[in-house]
Amino acid sequence: MGRIDRNNGQDSVMKRRHINNMLFNINEYELVKKKGHKLFNSLEEFYKAKGLCRQNFLKYYRRFLILGRNIEALIPNKVGRKYKNELQYIPQIVDEIKTARNIGHNRFEISAQLRKQNNIEISPSSVYRLLCKFKINKLNPIIKEEKRRIIKMATGELGHIDIHYVAKGTVKELNPNKKLYLLGLIDSYSRICWVEVIDSIKAINVSFTTMDILIRLKTRYNIEFTEMMSDNGSEFSSKNNPDHPFERMLNFYNIKHRYIKAFTPKTNGKIERFWRTIEEELLSNETFETLDEFKKHILGYNLYYNEHRIHQGIDNKMPVDMI
């Protein structure tokens, strides 16, 4: 460490050393770009030899150019809110944040709610600091249980969708290397489920098959979904692409898309548990002569599971009884 500067600034020796080092690196960087450096033929060689982070170096270099090659631009500046600095918002907004938290909303949901209902931009991190200030950043067990119940208070409130791989050789008439999949959608509240057989998990195929499932659930059980949860697979994932086929299909039906936490399939546990059930009761060690026969068995199992089979997760009722 350098000497302490008594003029309330950085140590002057360390500051000059840092500036001189940055100016030297900038000079060499510009020589490499002009193909005039004697040692380095590429910028990758330059960064590696100097032990520089490309993004960090370019941040200061661009700032240096924008400010007219002012050496003060090369000094790191501490930005952001000072430690423990108070966040000040009008009481009405604070009350809305507390109310949303008391019914179990997290910081991301609260931030989105304020933006949608009040046109107020408060980042999730700022919401979290407020929650810490009011000591309500952690949900107590009662609120956790209430939030868990809210998710499944009515049919159609949340659907879980997923894809399951069918074991090779299940359908005898098909080439052994031909892949088959099951696309399933289950209602979080009633456990009503519908499965279709597909031979491709491209996004467009999954989207059209999901539309067929939505129509069947609406026609037979009068279920219309407001939210749907999926994993982050390419057939579903569209966080950075609003034109993704699956996302456009959900927008058409006005269904909000939720994603499970990465590498946490238990978040989508209801459909994951269904796959285990259908394997145990229908697919395990079974073979079918033709694809049509296989599809008919899947259709029959849909009806059996929804309208005849009792379910422990809903107090030993049949899913159809929950509608």
pLDDT of amino acid 78: 58
Q: Is residue 126 very low, low, confident or very high in pLDDT (cuts 50, 70, 90)?
A: confident
pLDDT of amino acid 41: 87
- Total number of residues shown for the chain: 323
- Rounded to 10 degrees, what is the CA torsion of 299, 303, 305, 311? 160
From residue 28, alpha-carbon distances to 230, 259, 316 in Å are 50, 46, 74
pLDDT in tens, 250-288: 999 999 988 887 666 677 888 999 999 999 999 988 899
pLDDT of amino acid 86: 46
pLDDT of amino acid 74: 85
Residue 53 reports pLDDT greater than 50: yes
pLDDT of amino acid 83: 41
State the average pLDDT over residues 150-167: 84
From residue 123, alpha-carbon distances to 115, 128, 185, 260 in Å are 10, 9, 33, 21
Residue 21 reports pLDDT greater than 50: yes
Asked: is 159-322 a CATH 3.30.420.10 domain? The reply is yes
pLDDT of amino acid 205: 95
pLDDT of amino acid 141: 60
DSSP string for residues in 74-142: GS----SPPTTPPP---HHHHHHHHHHHHTT--HHHHHHHHHHHH-----HHHHHHHHHHTT-SS--HH
Instruction: Please name the helix (run of DSSP H) or strand (run of DSSP E) that holds residue 181, with its range, or none.
Output: strand 181-187
d(CA 192, CA 271): 11
d(CA 60, CA 239): 31
pLDDT in tens, 192-245: 999 999 999 999 999 999 999 999 999 999 999 999 999 888 898 766 677 889
Nearest in space to 312 (alpha carbons), one of 274, 284, 283, 260: 274
Residue 193, burial from CB neighbour count under 10 angstroms (0-12, 13-18, 19+): buried
